[in-house]
Structure 1
Amino acid sequence: MNEFVIKYKWKIVGTVLGAIAGYAYYYFIGCNSGTCPIQSNWHTSTLYGGLIGYVFVNSPKKEKPGEEQDKA
């Protein structure tokens, strides 16, 4: 379990922070009428925020000119 957490720590952190941000968006901004599919329900807002956090952390990094990427 400890190896798993160490290996995927940034993915876990990004997902948790995104989920917190998604819930905060629902709580403070949300949609009261119920017609907004993501904002009207805290479940979907939190899951969507977690997904965005995961994608943001795993976005590809640009190489600087002259640097080679390790292919190990």
Structure 2
Amino acid sequence: MNKKAIIVTGIGVVVGLVAGYLYYQQIGCVSGTCYITSKPLNSTLYGGLMGGLLFNLFVTSPKKKEKNEKE
């Protein structure tokens, strides 16, 4: 991974963490039976994971040079 990919993924994790906590705070699960949204830590970590994965989709990988170019 290059520096740009790490920065973009890191931003996605931070956005996801904030979104996960806000989801817990605003919607959440009152009964406590929902595994992800019943506790703020679970919701926040899940949001961070999903945010990182989502933002990582927008990172383009560098193109590999073909062996034929040298020949």
What is the match of residue 9 of structure 1?
7
Q: CA RMSD, aligned part only?
A: 2.3
Q: Which runs of 5+ in 1 are unaligned?
A: 1-5, 63-68
**Structure 2 gap segments, 5+ residues each:** 66-71
Match of 2:55 among 48, 57, 62: 57
Question: Across the two proteins, how many residue pairs are aligned to each other?
Answer: 61
8 Å CA contact 2:8–2:59 kept in 1: the answer is no
Which has the higher relative contact order, 1 or 2, with Cα contacts under 8 A spaced 6 or more apart?
2
Select 2:42's aligned residue among 28, 41, 44.
44
CA distance in 1, matches of 2:29, 2:19: 16
Bigger Rg, structure 1 or 2: 2
